[in-house]
Amino acid sequence: IPVDPFDLVIFGGTGDLARRKILPGLFRRFCAGQMPDNAHVIGAARTEISEAAYRDMIRDAILEFGGVEKTDEAQLSAFLQNLSYVAIDARGETGWRDLKALMRRKVVRAFYFSVAPSLFGDLAERLNNHGLTDHNSRIVVEKPFGRDLETAQKLNGDLAAFFEESQIYRIDHYLGKETVQNLMAVRFGNMLFEPLWNSQFVDHIQITVAETVGVGGRGEYYDKSGAMRDMVQNHLMQLLCLIAMEPPARFDPDAVRDEKLKVIRALEPVEPHHIVRGQYGADVDDPDEHPDYRTAVDNPKSKTESFIAMKTHIANWRWAATPFYLRTGKRLCARSSEISIVFKDTPHSIFGEEAGRHRNVLSIRLQPNEGIKLGVTIKEPGPGGMRLIDVPLDMTFADALGPEGADNVDAYERLIMDVIRGNQTLFMRGDEVEAAWAWTDPIIEGWTNSNDVPKPYDSHSAGPDASAQLMRRDGREWREVT
């Protein structure tokens, strides 16, 4: 179903995100018939280039990053027909009148701030001063949304000076992933799980987001952030919230976000010895192409982490006795994002201990091979007596639902369509972001004050040994990264 007609302005229209994600994503929605024919996309950036040159740039980007096996030329040309460009100065007056002249009345106006956060306030002010927005206009902002509580509060204040909270769409692209939404469907669409979803039945929960890539060309940004700011404060935190939150009364933006906020506010401060930080070493097979972290970020004394593992607790009735273990890192042995709900042992084995004991594990696989598996215990087939084994009840979406079941809609395209529809459910509210920083800040300050140095780990490993020890100390183990 096509969304309503819209004008979408992408500030930072020549940047990496616009070329890799936003515009190729819009093109795929266009091909899927979800973008109305008269949708108008306007790239805006500082560079003085002609509209023709901009269209060429985006054509190349779509061909390279579009993720379409064979791009339909006629469709690509039709898409580019509705793409314009204005050279604009976010901090000056150049270009704003041209932008206004390009925009239509009586359509949804959305402004995507794909620029450094330091420009958010300038853009918001100029949009307002030039009369480019009305009460139905929306702005979309990217992470990083601040680097601590203070900067996030400042950004929220800068935006709130000109926009209502209902107009602000803070993107966390993890919320746009198909399986992340499925997590809510599984929890709240089935009778089976919710009664068991608490400390009485759940031993612990693991969230792993493992990447094989290193910091790539983003060394300068990354070295000032580290895994805590880049991944934990936002993506892992959002996953944790969706698992841990109370059932919202309705699947609507504020009902869902109110419940997530309560989870973040209930997070206990993390003890320093419950955290392991790491920095990756060079790829021994190809150290020139894949150097160690410090070389990659060009900072031989860097104390920034490219890996983090931690144990945290949520201080409320549902979860007080269930630890949550979070782990994320770059240059690990596999790209794998998985949430595992590890249930407790049965209270007593009627088969005797020699039959073996197994735990039910519900694992929700976000990527790749999206799907959900439930490990159940059955009898080992054959005449060998009552021995127990684990088998998975497997719902890999591509197998269960056919190719259409696999996630073929990128998180960005889904989220941009939600912006046009005016649905904020999968976007972070200002108070949520601030609460997440309020929890993160003391942890980072602790490292700075204690001169903590991350532990080295091998490229293609599962992180530093201390990460495995963090689990072993509690008599538990990380699920394998595969």
Which sign does the torsion angle of CA 59, 60, 62, 63 carry? positive
> 3-state class of 478 per DSSP?
coil
- The residue (of 214 and 464) whose beta carbon lies closer to ligand BG6 is 214
- The residue (of 336 and 461) whose beta carbon lies closer to ligand BG6 is 336
Among residues 226, 219, 211, 89, which one has the least CA distance to residue 144? 226
Neighbouring C-beta atoms of residue 213, cutoff 10 Å? 11
Contact residues for 310 (Cβ-Cβ < 8 A; gap 6+): 232, 270, 274, 275, 276, 325, 326, 327, 470
- Annotated active-site residue 235? The verdict is yes
Q: Does 292 bind ligand BG6 (CB under 6 A)?
A: no
The answer on whether 294 is annotated among ligand-binding residues is: no
The answer on whether 7 is annotated among ligand-binding residues is: no
- The residue (of 228 and 267) whose beta carbon lies closer to ligand BG6 is 228
For 398-426, give the secondary structure using H, E and C.
Answer: HHHHCHHHCCCCCHHHHHHHHHHHCCCCC
Q: Does 458 bind ligand BG6 (CB under 6 A)?
A: no
| CB of 143 vs ligand BG6, minimal distance in Å | 6
What pairing do the DSSP bridges indicate for beta strands 388-396 and 6-11? Answer: unpaired
Torsion of CA 420, 424, 428, 431, to 10 degrees: 130
The answer on whether 138 is annotated among ligand-binding residues is: no
The torsion angles phi and psi of 183, rounded to 5 degrees, stand at -55, -45
The answer on whether 260 is annotated among ligand-binding residues is: no
Contact residues for 110 (Cβ-Cβ < 8 A; gap 6+): 6, 7, 8, 9, 137, 138, 139, 140, 419, 420
The answer on whether 16 is annotated among ligand-binding residues is: yes
| CB of 230 vs ligand BG6, minimal distance in Å | 5
Contact residues for 244 (Cβ-Cβ < 8 A; gap 6+): 205, 263, 314, 318, 319, 324
- Strands in 83-87's sheet, in edge-to-edge order, are 83-87, 40-45, 6-11, 108-113, 138-141, 168-170
**Binding flags for ligand BG6, 311-350, as an x/- string (CB under 6 A):** ----------------------------------------
| CB of 211 vs ligand BG6, minimal distance in Å | 5
Exactly one of 130, 135, 204, 235 is catalytic; which is it? 235
Tokens of 308: 């983090």
Q: Does 211 bind ligand BG6 (CB under 6 A)?
A: yes
- The residue (of 137 and 363) whose beta carbon lies closer to ligand BG6 is 363
What pairing do the DSSP bridges indicate for beta strands 371-379 and 307-312? Answer: unpaired
CB 75 within 8 A of CB 33: no
Place of tokens 């890999």: 396
The answer on whether 159 is annotated among ligand-binding residues is: no
| CB of 234 vs ligand BG6, minimal distance in Å | 7
The answer on whether 173 is annotated among ligand-binding residues is: yes
| CB of 314 vs ligand BG6, minimal distance in Å | 24
CB 70 within 8 A of CB 31: no
Q: Which of residues 373-392 bind ligand BG6 (CB under 6 A)?
A: none
Choose which of 230, 370, 418, 434 interacts with ligand BG6 (CB under 6 A): 230
- The residue (of 84 and 234) whose beta carbon lies closer to ligand BG6 is 234
Residues binding ligand BG6: number (CB under 6 A): 2
**Binding flags for ligand BG6, 156-195, as an x/- string (CB under 6 A):** ----------------------------------------
The answer on whether 44 is annotated among ligand-binding residues is: no
Q: Does 305 bind ligand BG6 (CB under 6 A)?
A: no
How many separate helices (H) and strands (E) can be counted in the chain?
Answer: 16, 15
Q: Which of residues 117-136 bind ligand BG6 (CB under 6 A)?
A: none
Among residues 340, 305, 237, which one has the least CA distance to residue 453? 305
d(C-alpha 243, C-alpha 432), whole Å: 16
- The residue (of 232 and 266) whose beta carbon lies closer to ligand BG6 is 232
| CB of 173 vs ligand BG6, minimal distance in Å | 6
- The residue (of 7 and 230) whose beta carbon lies closer to ligand BG6 is 230
| CB of 463 vs ligand BG6, minimal distance in Å | 16
Q: What are the residues facing 395 on neighbouring strands?
A: 372
The answer on whether 89 is annotated among ligand-binding residues is: no
Known binding-site residues for substrate equal 173, 177, 211, 230, 330
Known binding-site residues for NADP(+) equal 12-19, 46, 143
Known binding-site residues equal 12-19, 46, 143, 173, 177, 211, 230, 330
Q: Which residues would be at the binding site for ligand BG6 (CB under 6 A)?
A: 211, 230
Active site residues: 235
